[in-house]
Chain A
Amino acid sequence: MDINAILQMLHANRFEAASVILFVVGLGGMLFNRSLFKKVVSMGFMDSAIFLFLTSAGYVEGRLAPIIADPAVTATMEVYSHPLPAGLVLTGIVVSVSFTAFGLALTQRLYKKYHSLNIDEIMMQAQKSED
């Protein structure tokens, strides 16, 4: 593919492209931020990016959300968009909530103990108090 075709595809797949960028922002945030709190937030970024990607995989131009309006009419595939990705996103969101809570709980304990959110400083103090 030449560069023009790639740019065109990126434009067409702009939601996927955005999700990829968000994912890398989250990843970078996790690697660069020294603050534990911001690391937890970056974690949320990464998860949301994946949800955006999955949701856009389920979208089909011009189709309705997969909830049958009238049970009497037989549903056909041409009317509704793909329901599976929505289910996966729901699962992912719940997992992400649990992890955020867990990460924040750890952060709170560390803050209580070391009075800092900076991971380097916390690690230094923990190293010192060892043994």
Chain B
Amino acid sequence: MKTPVWYQKLLRWTEGDSPVLPEPAAHREQTREPAAEESAYESGPGLLSASAGRVRNVLLRVITIASCAVFLLIMLATVAYLPRFGDADNAPENETSRRYIEQGMQEVGATNLVTNIILVYRGFDTYGESCVLFLGATAVIMLLAVDAKNTTEEDRRVLARSDALDRENRNQILGHITTILMPVILLYGLYILCNGHLSPGGGFAGGSILGGALILCENGYGVGKVHSFFGHRIYHVVKVGALILYAVLICYTIYVGANGLPNVIPLGKPGSILSAGIILPINVAVGLEVACTMYAFYTYFGRGDL
């Protein structure tokens, strides 16, 4: 039995064996060189013969399939014992939901009850969550920011050449469309950002839209356009400033609330744009942070720099 060549190729491709991106020739030579000789003192595990290794692989595969199947059956059976979907008298129908719905607007001030929960009732969780985003961005920078260890001269040359090409052959259509779309996108992002307490949206959604606008700007006007007004310094200051503002607001609320002190931030009239106390400034801070993070993800993945 001989499997057709195309099938093998397909398999290799789906398994990630064959390269997705073309690789520079110099690298290919380098990695194919035989590795350093094994140390004479090495007598560790892993001396299985090829056939034993294959048997072990098959066995492992069978065990994994079986355990996945068992897990699926157990979980499906569990689902059958869970409360019926959509019933009004299920467990979440308790004093917690009642207070969120019936007193949330009076106590916290936003008509969007979900916003009340994530930014005030469970504000600590959500601060943790924006810290996850901050950490994600930091980890990406740690990995991908250009440095002596992860970038060779060759890489730098390739990047410089593609930048030069990009500058010479500006895509006019994309540029014009960007000019037309930019104000609309920015306006929409700001609207979502600032109406988080009145309608679906808020910092996370609005911030992603603003981040998308920055990415579009980078693409439409060319490399370096965004960098001219949004360099490292501004990026760090905006990101850190937003997170500190958020931290100060949430710390104040927590400290005051936990110690039974009066909260001096006014709640305003529910339903108007300037209402809901700390929610609006928090949404703005979160939005700025998310926009910075989204843009940072994009540029660090592409160029290893802002």
Contacts and interface: CB of A to CB of B under 8 A. Distances in A.
23 contacts: A5-B80, A10-B79, A20-B78, A28-B65, A32-B61, A32-B64, A61-B88, A71-B271, A77-B93, A78-B88, A83-B113, A84-B92, A87-B114, A94-B130, A97-B136, A98-B133, A101-B140, A104-B301, A105-B144, A116-B16, A119-B16, A129-B35, A131-B36
Interface in A46-86: 56-61, 65-69, 71, 74-80, 82-86
Interface residues of A, number: 78
A80 B113 contact: yes
A102 B101 CA distance: 37
B18 to A, nearest CB: 9
B86 interface: yes
A12 B93 contact: no
Q: Most chain-A CB neighbours within 10 Å: which of B85, B97, B270?
A: B85
Interface of A: 1, 5-6, 9-10, 12-17, 20-21, 23-24, 27-28, 31-38, 56-61, 65-69, 71, 74-80, 82-87, 90-91, 93-95, 97-99, 101-102, 104-106, 108-109, 111-112, 114-119, 121, 125, 128-129, 131
A84 B100 contact: yes
Contacts of A82: 92-93, 97
A113 B53 CA distance: 26
A118 B88 CA distance: 49
Interface of B: 14-17, 19-21, 23, 27-28, 31, 35-36, 39, 61, 64-65, 68, 71-72, 75-82, 84-88, 90, 92-93, 96-98, 100-102, 104-105, 111-114, 116-118, 122, 125-126, 129-130, 132-133, 135-137, 139-140, 143-144, 150, 199-200, 204, 269-271, 297, 300-301
Contacts of B15: 33-35, 118
A15 B68 contact: no
B301 A131 contact: no
Contacts of A77: 93, 97-98, 101-102
A99 B136 contact: yes
4 A-B pairs with least C-beta separation: A98-B136, A35-B16, A117-B16, A128-B35
Contacts of B27: 115
Nearest to B34: A128
A17 B125 contact: no
Interface SS of B by simple majority:
helix
Given A60-B86, A105-B144, A36 B28 contact: no
B122 A87 contact: yes
A127 B104 CA distance: 57
B163 to A, nearest CB: 18
A84 B143 contact: no
Contact of A102 (B80, B90, B92, B139): B139
Contacts of A94: 129-130, 132-133, 204
Contacts of A37: 16, 20
A93 to B, nearest CB: 8
B117 A61 contact: no
A57 B92 contact: yes
B88 A60 contact: yes
Nearest to A53: B79
B129 A91 contact: yes
A28 B297 CA distance: 28
A68 B105 contact: yes
